[in-house]
Chains A and B, each alone.
Chain A
Amino acid sequence: QKEVEQNSGPLSVPEGAIASLNCTYSDRGSQSFFWYRQYSGKSPELIMFIYSNGDKEDGRFTAQLNKASQYVSLLIRDSQPSDSATYLCAVSKAGTASKLTFGTGTRLQVTL
């Protein structure tokens, strides 16, 4: 079992819709959870981080964490073609970002 699992996609959503990206993790010691966006040929860019159970909203993005189910998700409202990218879920232990374990990423396609 991989430490961080994501559906590779592609996930296709129409412009203006809500995109829902999901991630599960295996290590119950994980304390910090991150979502990165990576455009093709580019480096990862931090979108959101979340430490506590529940929802965290930032603009069109909402991160959701459920530690009991070992599940973290990212919702993108009003999806735009510019949101088309690979979204990487990453976790770390002990409340630090020093050693991130990444999933393989979910490719999102926002269609016109």
Chain B
Amino acid sequence: GAGVSQTPSNKVTEKGKYVELRCDPISGHTALYWYRQSLGQGPEFLIYFQGTGAADDSGLPNDRFFAVRPEGSVSTLKIQRTERGDSAVYLCASSSGPRTEAFFGQGTRLTVV
């Protein structure tokens, strides 16, 4: 695609529910990143994929968070038993390699009520 596409753009869910956030990277980009941005803060690294594998998942806050990229393209960030503190904008970025510019999607605004 022309850019990084994230769906949905907005998601409101009840505390305790499960959510999935989708990221469709720029075609051909092998590197994919998930970040989380809370209001008034900079993006916070969650996980980095190179191809299908998670090369660095050190930013995932706890075991309620999980991400997959089974075919090396689309990625899904999964959050179990959501908490109000999970409310944030979840940003996905992709790049053609680990040493090249990462382009961000427009993000998914998650609100846990």
- The residues of A with any CB-CB pair to B shorter than 8 Å are 4, 8, 42-46, 49, 88, 90, 95-105
Contacts and interface: CB of A to CB of B under 8 A. Distances in A.
Interface in B36-54: 40-45, 48, 50
Given A98-B56, A99-B48, 12 more contacts: A43-B91, A43-B107, A96-B99, A97-B95, A97-B102, A98-B31, A99-B58, A100-B45, A102-B42, A102-B43, A104-B42, A105-B42
Interface of B: 31, 33, 35, 40-45, 48, 50, 55-56, 58-59, 91, 95, 98-107
Contact of B100 (A88, A97, A100, A104): A97
B43 A97 contact: no
A68 to B, nearest CB: 24
Contacts of A99: 33, 45, 48, 56, 58-59
A100 B41 CA distance: 14
CB-CB nearest 10 A-B residue pairs: A102-B42, A43-B104, A98-B98, A96-B98, A98-B48, A102-B43, A88-B42, A104-B42, A99-B45, A44-B104
